[in-house]
Structure 1
Amino acid sequence: MARTFGIILVVIGVVMLVWTGFSFTRKEKVVDLGPVAISADRKEQVNWPPYVGGIVLAAGVVLLLIPAGKRTR
């Protein structure tokens, strides 16, 4: 189980190092007057620092390198 989790963390860490964020668009209602509704598109952005990806990657590598016998104790 820990080995699988380690592989997942390594993959997520590499992805976080390559892409340091993403953006998406959401609709926001600006005016709502009965049957008349006006909405606007809002661009939102999510960013994380590169060292977070490095920490996640390192945690995954540690989980992969710890022998199975030492993890259960």
Structure 2
Amino acid sequence: MNAIKIVGIALIVAGILGLVYGSFSYTKDTHEAKLGPIELSVQEKETVNVPIWAGVGSIAVGSIFLLFGRRKP
């Protein structure tokens, strides 16, 4: 199995996951402050929406890689 087929499969899986879940969230630490022995930090929860066109495009490009990745001149 060559690298183009592996990339194609990874794109298809990522596209399917993007269509199924639609978004993902993560937590990032911001605004850290140290005042003597006291430490303050704020955690913000960020949500990223995955557009439908990105999921469909990822599946399409992955399929093209799988179809044309096996042809040798």
TM-score by length of 2: 0.74
Q: 1:65 aligns with which of 42, 67, 70?
A: 67
CA distance in 2, matches of 1:55, 1:8: 13
Report if the CA contact (8 A) 2:28-2:45 is conserved: yes
- In structure 1, runs of 5+ residues without a counterpart are none
Moved over 6 A (4+): none
TM-score by length of 1: 0.74
| Aligned-pair CA distance for 1:67 | 6.1
Q: 1:49 aligns with which of 37, 48, 51?
A: 51
CA distance in 2, matches of 1:20, 1:62: 23
- Greater Cα offset, 23-32 or 39-48: 23-32
CA distance in 2, matches of 1:3, 1:24: 30
5 Å-filtered alignment, 1:1-73, equals 1=2, 2-66=4-68, 68-69=70-71, 72-73=72-73
Give the RMSD, CA atoms, in angstroms: 2.0
